[in-house]
Amino acid sequence: MRRFLIHTAILAGIAAIGAVLVVWLGLFNVSARSGHLPGVSWVLHTTFRNAVELRAPPADAVPDLSDPDLVALGARHYDGACRVCHAGPDEGRTATMLSMLPAPPPIKEAVADWEPQHLFWIVKHGVKMSGMPAWPTRTRDDDVWPVVAFLTRVPEMTLAEYEELVAPPELPADAAGADVAYCASCHGADGRGRGNAQVPRLDILGEAYIAASLTAYRTGARQNGIMHHAASTLDATGDARLARFYGAQQPSPASDPQSDSEPGGKRDHITLGRDLAMGSAASADVPACSACHGPWPDRLSALFPRLAGQPEPYLLRQLELWRDGERGGTSRAHLMHQAAKDLTDGELRALAAYYASLKPGEAR
C-alpha cells in the first residue's frame, strides 16, 4: 500500500511538471488553424449549452417582444455591432470570420436552438474564450431586449427585408459633411427617430445637452448598451459635430401625435400629469418639473432637456430609471434623482403621457 502511494505521488509529480512545461515552453498550440483535439469541441459546446440553460432567466420573465419598434431598434443595433461577425440573414460571412475558432455561426443558425430567455442571456453575458462579446453595459436589462426581439424574427427574415429595416433614410445635402448616416439609421436625419417610439427625438434637444449626453454614454456615466456602442465610435470632436447638426434641427409640430383626439380616460390621465408637472400635486421640497422642463418658450439651462413631444414609452422608461437610481447622465443628473425618487408608478405614467401629448414646436 505504501509503495502504491509513493508511485502515485511520483506519477502526479511528473504530470504536474509536464503541465508546467507545456505552459512555460509554449508547447500547447494556440493556433486557430489547428482546430481542437478530438472531443474538445463537444465538451466546450455541451458546457456552453448547459451553462446558458442553467443561468438564463425564467421564460415568464420575457417581456412582450412583438412591438415592431423594438424589432427595428434591435435590427439597427445588430447591424452596427453584430453583423460584422454573424452576417445578415442568409448573407455569407467574410473569409476572416470563417477563419475564427470557433467561427461565429451564421445568424439563422445561431438563433435556431434557443428560446428568447436564452438569447437574452447569451447577448448580455457573451461566451468566454470564443470571441462572442458581452453586452457593453451592465446595469440595465431593458436595452438588451430589443436585440432579442429582432433575433426572434430572424428565422423568417430574408436578406432583402433585413436590408430594408436597417438602411438609413435618405440624407439631406447638409447631412453629408456631418457623417450622420449611422446615427440617422435610428434617429433619422431630422432627429425625429423615424417614428420609432423606443428612440428619443433629438430635434427637440439643444446642442449642449446632446454633446454632454454623448460623452456620458461613452464614459459609461449614462448606461445604455446601444448608445454606449454608438458613442464609442466617436471622440470629442465627433460629439461636438453631431450635437451641432442635431441641435440645429427644428421640430415641426404639424405631424405630431395629438391629445385632442384622445379618448376621455386618457385625457384625464394627461390632466393629472399636467397638475403634477406644474407642481400642484408635488411635495414642498421638490421643485415642479415645469420649473426645469417647461413647457415654456425658453429653455432654462442648456443642460435641461425639453420633454414636449418626446415619445411616451421613452419618457416612461427614463422616469423609471431615474426613480430607481439607474439612470446617470451629465453633470446635472443628480437633480433628476431628487425630482423622481418619490413618484409612484401611476404618477410616472401620467407625467410621461402629459409631456408626450405636448406639441414640441409650440411649447419650447
Compare residues 29 and 41 and give the one whose CB is closer to ligand HEC.
Answer: 41
Q: Applying CB under 6 A, which part among 1-9, 58-66, 264-272, 290-298 lies near ligand HEC? A: 290-298
Q: Is the Cβ–Cβ distance between 308 and 360 less than 8 Å?
A: yes
Size of the site for ligand HEC (CB under 6 A): 67
| Member of 335, 350, 353, 358 binding ligand HEC (CB under 6 A) | 335
> Distance (Å, rounded) from C-alpha 243 to C-alpha 249?
10
> Distance (Å, rounded) from C-alpha 352 to C-alpha 293?
13
| Member of 63, 91, 130, 208 binding ligand HEC (CB under 6 A) | 130
| Member of 134, 171, 333, 363 binding ligand HEC (CB under 6 A) | 333
The footprint of ligand HEC on residues 230-269 (CB under 6 A) is 230, 234, 242
| Member of 88, 89, 104, 360 binding ligand HEC (CB under 6 A) | 104
> Distance (Å, rounded) from C-alpha 205 to C-alpha 208?
9
Phi-psi region of 195 (alpha: psi -120 to 50; beta: other; left: phi over 0): left
Q: Binding marks (x or -) toward ligand HEC, 159..198, rule CB under 6 A?
A: -----------------------xx-xxx----------x
> Distance (Å, rounded) from C-alpha 94 to C-alpha 85?
8
What's the closest the beta carbon of residue 6 comes to ligand HEC, in angstroms?
Answer: 42
Compare residues 151 and 266 and give the one whose CB is closer to ligand HEC.
Answer: 151
Q: Binding marks (x or -) toward ligand HEC, 72..91, rule CB under 6 A?
A: -x--xxx-xxx-xxx-----
- For residue 326 the three cell numbers come to 439607474
Alpha helices, DSSP H, located in the chain: 2-25, 40-55, 68-81, 83-86, 95-98, 107-112, 116-125, 145-153, 159-166, 181-187, 207-219, 225-232, 236-247, 264-278, 289-293, 312-323, 333-340, 345-357
> Distance (Å, rounded) from C-alpha 186 to C-alpha 314?
14
Cβ neighbors of 228 (< 8 A, separation 6 or more) are 136, 137, 217, 218, 220
Instruction: Give me the DSSP letters along 193-206.
Output: GGG-TTS--STTS-
> Distance (Å, rounded) from C-alpha 215 to C-alpha 209?
10
What's the closest the beta carbon of residue 330 comes to ligand HEC, in angstroms?
Answer: 3
Closest residue to ligand HEC, based on beta-carbon distance: 329
| Member of 304, 311, 350, 356 binding ligand HEC (CB under 6 A) | 304
Compare residues 255 and 283 and give the one whose CB is closer to ligand HEC.
Answer: 283
Q: Binding marks (x or -) toward ligand HEC, 19..58, rule CB under 6 A?
A: -----------------------------x----------
Q: How far is CA 17 from the centre of its chain?
A: 48
SS3 190: coil
Cβ neighbors of 58 (< 8 A, separation 6 or more) are 117
Compare residues 39 and 264 and give the one whose CB is closer to ligand HEC.
Answer: 39
Compare residues 16 and 115 and give the one whose CB is closer to ligand HEC.
Answer: 115
Is residue 147 at the binding interface for ligand HEC, with CB under 6 A as the rule? yes
Q: Is the Cβ–Cβ distance between 72 and 226 less than 8 Å?
A: no
Please give the residue ranges that form the binding site for ligand HEC (CB under 6 A). 48, 73, 76-78, 80-82, 84-86, 100, 102, 104-105, 110-111, 119, 122-123, 127, 130-133, 147, 182-183, 185-187, 198-200, 202, 205, 210, 213-214, 224, 226-227, 230, 234, 242, 287, 289, 291-293, 303-305, 307, 310, 315, 318-319, 329-330, 332-333, 335-336, 339-340, 351
